[in-house]
Structure 1
Amino acid sequence: MLLSSTRKDWFGNVRGDVLAGLVVALALIPEAIAFSIIAGVDPKVGLYASFCIAVVVAFTGGRPGMISAATGAMALLMVTLVKEHGLEYLLAATLLTGVLQIVIGYLRMGELMRFVSRSVVTGFVNALAILIFMAQLPELTNVTWHVYAMTIAGLGIIYLFPLINKTIPSPLVTIVVLTGVSMVMGLEIRTVGDLGELPDTLPMFLWPDVPLNLETLQIIFPYAFALAMVGILESLMTATIVDDLTDTPSDKNRECKAQGVANIGSGLMGGMAGCAMIGQSVINVKSGGRGRLSTLIAGVVLLIMVVFLNPWVSQIPMAALVAVMIMVSIGTFNWGSFKDLKTYPLSTNIVMIVTVVVVVWTHNLAYGVFAGVLLAALFFANKVGHFMYVTSELDEQTDTRRYSVIGQVFFTSSEKFLASFDFKEAVDHVVIDLTRAHFWDITAVGALDKAVIKFRREGAQVEVIGLNEASETIVDRFGVHDKPEEIDKVLGGH
């Protein structure tokens, strides 16, 4: 079974994976260089990181076909560390990031993705598509008409070539054709070589030259922790999106560990920390990549091209890569979400829109997801709280008022629960039937305590019946209505 799965992951789609890996490798080069510049380090730091992370994740990752490398979200978190302490401390922080991510994986925190709602994922994807498009605008600002012509031609090839041949990925054809046209015509347009000098040597093993003491740990830990959390979040979100695109499952906890191992490897090879890349993963899937081989090819070919073929790679016009990334942004955006605005509940739409706005405004994917998850949780709690209600009936023969509680009692519904009782009614007996209710937290238990104690102070005998096992456990542990020494605390000593 394991052998069959491994063979499928590696050799179930060889031609598609190889061609997709070539496209991704070409698209990774300018991004890795750009992210290095953002972080304030030499371009080779981002390029070595992208090679190392992609290769390691290909073997260890929990999501076949997903691309991991140096990313912009991670680069932004490194700026201050590099500026104040230098590259060596960044490499040390990268190693610590990897260790923390492995710990997160063993703590099975990948399962927290269950708490990310579909509306947050949709908002995240749409925000990413907008950011990818916005990132191309500098390449289309204050440039000659040749750049616009090349970009439009590139988009034409990307969308029209599949009508002729679907075997070869159209983004790869676009990059090759436009590079050839640019070189033959001698066009004076911006190329990959203009972004920075490409490395001419293979990465080497090195240990960060920093003192191994508590002071170093105090410097790098805050950055490493932020990098670990953002890296895990973006990787798990990417895995969820690729799951949807390919209709296949993935192991989120294994992916957490894999990202950690990859970052340790990157730090030991002179690279910066990285994580999964949604844009590149979408390029991979759209180009036919499905297995681990596509991720391995992307990493290996990236290194071969920048080290051994850099005279050719440096000639690739940025317009060709801009066309590919515009295709990615168009393909990534969930256009159906516009139609869904009319049919989905208002709370769902608000969560999606807030996620988009926060991500685009801050350029930080983590902030947007946290905001979306928080809002979704608040809306859910509010909605569930409204489904709790209390009915009552009076048995005049026995002078007993029976209250039947239906629904979930927790912090949002506890006030409504208390307001449902008439404490001033003169009855001898009160029965609170909780057969169809569930108590979730200490706020709910406190509300039950107040109800029972208030009825008793009015002279009624109170009987609580029907508690299910889980509710009874929390009521027995935290409830005080049967503990006389604690009762005064509930009503504030009155």
Structure 2
Amino acid sequence: MPAKFAEGESKDVAVLDFAPFRTGSRIAAMTFSQKLRFEWFSNIRGDLLAGLVVALALIPEAIAFSIIAGVDPKVGLYASFCIAVVIAFTGGRPGMISAATGAMALLMVTLVREHGLEYLLAATVLCGVLQIAAGYLKLGSLMRFVSRSVVTGFVNALAILIFMAQLPELTGVTWHVYAMTAAGLGIIYLFPYVPVVGKAIPSPLVCILTLTAVALLLGLDIRSVADMGELPDTLPVFLWPDVALTLETLLIILPYSAALAVVGLLESMMTATIVDDLTDTCSDKNRECKGQGIANIGAGLMGGMAGCAMIGQSVINVKSGGRTRLSCLTAGVVLLLMVVFLSDWVGLIPMAALVAVMIMVSIGTFSWDSLRNLKQHPLSTNIVMLATVVVTVGTHNLAYGVFVGVLLAAMFFANKMAHYLHIGSELDAGGRQRSYRVVGQVFFSSADKFVAAFDFKEALDKVVIDLGRAHFWDITAVAALDKVVIKFRREGTAVEILGMNQASATIVDRFGVHDKPQAIDQLMGH
């Protein structure tokens, strides 16, 4: 089954057989050389060109995120280089781009302001250790609890945030900037239709090169990459954070490291899910957790800040034809070469060109189907999606948005499952025995409904409760059963329970009290 392609994407660039990624057994059956070729060298031209485009897009983002965190621009640039290179080898999602990100930068502000850069580097290393631990604990598997509506809300929120991040570059500027941005968008969307070359060269790369040439030829006085901050002129070097290895230091950095680890993994797992959908492949989420951890340890030891997967750059990579690990490696290596050895040329790139690329990413990332499907989808699904968007955009914190979305999805699911409980009854011919038949799920959300279905004031000699088609899930359900049995017995009615399945019987035997005389005596005050 071929990979899926976004609208306007060059299929000639990335015609690959992704079927092995859909089943781990097929990858495991590959020889080392087959796996090496498949994950690295099956799409060389597409990956090299896509990596070049991503590297150009990473530069202003890394500088901006460094400014947000309150550190020198080289901290973000070194981090982006190191994380991109390391994750290319250790990550579980080929074709996904990881680097310094805004979500992580926002969590660093207080630590940098109060304790300085060295503590940030130490926190970055500890963040990596925690993420590796999460990978070994297989926490990446928790993504199965994130519903499709939450993922859609996450995607839409990211698209909005990416677009909003471009607004400062379009506010209070001359008409030349608007003209250049519009021209950039025209190139991005129209160049793929140019015969022969249109499908051989990524249109975002053409946009950046063309607008840079135009700005130089016309001598336009518009904002460029050089105006974002000073680019480093030396290669990063290995250094151990200059902090005391004491319990006091650990207590200072641990809260920040834990927050960075959680947000970084959450954003990376969500981004991996999105790239899975874009390329119609699957990824190893637990390996990605470990890979992110190793990359962050490397970043901290090379003077960089913590980072994670980037949805915007990952979408740029996919739409530019990047598919394998080579694209991520190329992005990291080219980024370092450009900022260290070609900084004078890179500084000439007009921000309008990069704004056009990011607007393209925003438009392509947003799930327009989610708007068209608002009338068709259930109200609960729409509420979860919209709540995720509103909280994420309102707080600029992806973790908060996803947490609210997952919480609402769980609540709606529990409420829906509570409705799948039916309790019927019939009275025997003598009028002295009633049989209740329970069908459905009994848990914390349906426990009250379960208890309310029984008539405790009816004069009976015996009550039979048939649980053959019911299941008890938690101690709240067990407590509800205890309540029903004990209430009937207080009225002098004998109770017989039939048909309980083994799983329900296990939890009832362990936590129930209706069949334990001593526990009942204590409850009744005897």
Give the TM-score, by structure 1 length: 0.99
| Equivalent position of 1:307 in the other structure | 340
Cα separation, partners in 2 of 1:360 and 1:13, compared to 1, 3 Å: same
Aligned equivalents of 1:49, 1:438: Cα separation in 2? 51
Alpha-carbon deviations, 1:393-432, whole Å to 9, x = none?
A: 1122483211010000001100000000111111211111
Asked if 1:191 is matched to 2:224, the reply is yes
Aligned length: 493
Asked if 1:266 is matched to 2:299, the reply is yes
- Is residue 431–residue 460 contact of structure 2 (8 Å, CA) maintained in 1? no
SS in 2 for 1:284: helix
Which one is further off, 98-107 or 479-488?
A: 479-488
Aligned equivalents of 1:296, 1:175: Cα separation in 2? 21
| Equivalent position of 1:277 in the other structure | 310
| Equivalent position of 2:24 in the other structure | none
Asked if 1:49 is matched to 2:82, the reply is no
| Equivalent position of 1:420 in the other structure | 453
The amino acid of 1:33's aligned partner reads: I
Asked if 1:438 is matched to 2:471, the reply is yes
Alpha-carbon deviations, 1:315-338, whole Å to 9, x = none?
A: 000000000000000000000111
Question: Displacement of 1:68 after TM fit?
Answer: 0.2
Asked if 1:93 is matched to 2:123, the reply is yes
Question: Displacement of 1:6 after TM fit?
Answer: 3.0
SS in 2 for 1:342: coil
| Equivalent position of 1:463 in the other structure | 496
- Is residue 449–residue 490 contact of structure 1 (8 Å, CA) maintained in 2? no
Which one is further off, 177-186 or 272-281?
A: 177-186
In the alignment, structure 1 segments of 5+ residues that lack a partner are: none
Question: Displacement of 1:184 after TM fit?
Answer: 1.4
Asked if 1:381 is matched to 2:411, the reply is no
Poorly superposed stretches of 4+, deviation over 4 Å = 488-491
Asked if 1:478 is matched to 2:511, the reply is yes
Aligned equivalents of 2:394, 2:523: Cα separation in 1? 46
The amino acid of 1:99's aligned partner reads: V
The amino acid of 1:6's aligned partner reads: L
In the alignment, structure 2 segments of 5+ residues that lack a partner are: 1-29
Aligned equivalents of 2:502, 2:35: Cα separation in 1? 42
The amino acid of 1:256's aligned partner reads: C
Asked if 1:336 is matched to 2:369, the reply is yes
The amino acid of 2:340's aligned partner reads: V
RMSD value over aligned CA atoms? 1.0
Aligned equivalents of 1:152, 1:191: Cα separation in 2? 16
| Equivalent position of 2:267 in the other structure | 234
| Equivalent position of 1:135 in the other structure | 165
In structure 1, which of residues 399, 404, 407 is the aligned counterpart of residue 437 of structure 2? 404
Aligned equivalents of 1:156, 1:237: Cα separation in 2? 30
Aligned equivalents of 1:177, 1:490: Cα separation in 2? 81
Question: Displacement of 1:170 after TM fit?
Answer: 0.2
Aligned equivalents of 2:523, 2:299: Cα separation in 1? 56
Aligned equivalents of 2:521, 2:214: Cα separation in 1? 85
| Equivalent position of 2:89 in the other structure | 59
In structure 2, which of residues 172, 176, 181 is the aligned counterpart of residue 146 of structure 1? 176
Alpha-carbon deviations, 1:236-277, whole Å to 9, x = none?
A: 000000000000000000000000000000000000000000
Asked if 1:27 is matched to 2:62, the reply is no
In structure 2, which of residues 31, 37, 44 is the aligned counterpart of residue 14 of structure 1? 44
In structure 2, which of residues 244, 247, 250 is the aligned counterpart of residue 217 of structure 1? 250
Cα separation, partners in 2 of 1:186 and 1:115, compared to 1, 3 Å: same
Aligned equivalents of 2:241, 2:371: Cα separation in 1? 49
Aligned equivalents of 1:50, 1:487: Cα separation in 2? 64
Question: Displacement of 1:111 after TM fit?
Answer: 0.6
| Equivalent position of 1:173 in the other structure | 206
Question: Displacement of 1:5 after TM fit?
Answer: 2.9
Aligned equivalents of 1:435, 1:316: Cα separation in 2? 71
In structure 2, which of residues 391, 395, 398 is the aligned counterpart of residue 358 of structure 1? 391
SS in 1 for 2:374: helix
| Equivalent position of 2:428 in the other structure | 395
The amino acid of 1:321's aligned partner reads: L
Aligned equivalents of 2:174, 2:439: Cα separation in 1? 69
The amino acid of 1:21's aligned partner reads: G
Which one is further off, 12-21 or 398-407?
A: 398-407
Cα separation, partners in 2 of 1:9 and 1:335, compared to 1, 3 Å: same
Cα separation, partners in 2 of 1:147 and 1:437, compared to 1, 3 Å: same
| Equivalent position of 1:119 in the other structure | 149
Aligned equivalents of 1:230, 1:130: Cα separation in 2? 19
- Is residue 358–residue 368 contact of structure 1 (8 Å, CA) maintained in 2? yes
Aligned equivalents of 2:121, 2:65: Cα separation in 1? 15
Which one is further off, 138-147 or 391-400?
A: 391-400
| Equivalent position of 1:203 in the other structure | 236
- Is residue 446–residue 490 contact of structure 1 (8 Å, CA) maintained in 2? no
Cα separation, partners in 2 of 1:424 and 1:33, compared to 1, 3 Å: same
Give the TM-score, by structure 2 length: 0.93
SS in 2 for 1:197: coil
Aligned equivalents of 1:254, 1:55: Cα separation in 2? 16
Cα separation, partners in 2 of 1:75 and 1:457, compared to 1, 3 Å: same
In structure 2, which of residues 112, 115, 128 is the aligned counterpart of residue 82 of structure 1? 112
Cα separation, partners in 2 of 1:144 and 1:346, compared to 1, 3 Å: same
Aligned equivalents of 2:386, 2:221: Cα separation in 1? 41
| Equivalent position of 1:255 in the other structure | 288
